[in-house]
């Protein structure tokens, strides 16, 4: 058997460990190594092969050990309320934003386009120069709109459409392309 048949995978973001190998004794040995870490509740130091981690369930018939857990995606929300921005979203500002979005509803119907429209509105009306996923979450929430995956929407708007400059510490600045789209190109005919 070659070494590639044996692996220890640790996904710290999901809190899962997978140990695979055709030798049940090797799998059991890896579990014995990992159990003290699990009982001490110490997070794994690395996620490399032959590595460290934790495990809950042992399926000896398949030679696999794994921690029961969730799938790939996290169930956490895509943002949290930014109280500073929420305070600036007065009824008058919300009315203006609702009208601004309404004028662009046909051409800015996807989440990436809406992020550019919202970010440009915040820049123009509130001098809010940078937006984060939390800022977008706050706007959608305060406006009573369906909330998209704000982190993904910002990232895709930046990478796919060029509506934002590269993020700096999770903060995005709307680009000239994004401003032109929001102010002019997205207006319904």
* Span of 30-44, 71-85, 112-126 with lowest mean pLDDT: 30-44
SS (H, E, C) the chain: CCHHHCEEEEECCCCEEEEECCCHHHHHHHHHHHHHHHHHCCCCCCCCCCCCCCCCEEECCCCEEECCCCCCCCCCCCCCCCHHHHHHCCHHHHHHHHHHHHCCCCCCCCHHHHHHHHHHHHHHHHCCCEECHHHHHHHHHHHCCCCCCHHHHHHHHHHCCCCECCCECCEEEECHHHHHHHHHHCCCC
pLDDT in tens, 84-138: 999 999 999 999 999 999 999 999 999 999 999 999 999 999 999 999 999 999 9
Which domains can be identified in the chain, with CATH numbers?
Answer: 3-66 (no CATH), 83-185 (1.10.10)
pTM for this prediction: 0.60
């Amino acid at each position: 058997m070659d070494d590639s048949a044996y692996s220890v995978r640790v996904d710290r973001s999901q809190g899962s460990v997978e140990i695979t190998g055709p030798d049940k004794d090797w799998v059991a040995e890896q579990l014995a190594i990992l159990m003290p870490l699990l009982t001490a509740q110490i997070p794994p130091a690395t996620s490399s092969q032959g590595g460290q981690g934790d495990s809950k369930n042992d399926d000896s018939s398949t030679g696999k050990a794994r921690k029961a857990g969730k799938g790939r995606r996290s169930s956490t929300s895509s943002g949290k309320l930014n109280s500073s921005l929420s305070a600036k979203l007065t009824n008058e500002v919300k009315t203006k934003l609702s009208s601004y979005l309404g004028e662009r509803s046909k051409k800015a119907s996807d989440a990436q386009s809406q992020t550019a429209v919202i970010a440009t509105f915040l820049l123009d009306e509130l001098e809010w120069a940078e937006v984060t996923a939390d800022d977008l979450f706050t706007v959608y929430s305060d406006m009573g709109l369906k909330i998209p995956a704000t982190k993904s929407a910002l990232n895709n708007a930046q990478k796919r459409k060029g509506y934002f400059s590269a993020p700096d510490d999770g903060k995005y600045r709307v680009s000239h392309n994004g401003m032109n789209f929001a102010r002019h190109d997205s207006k319904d005919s």
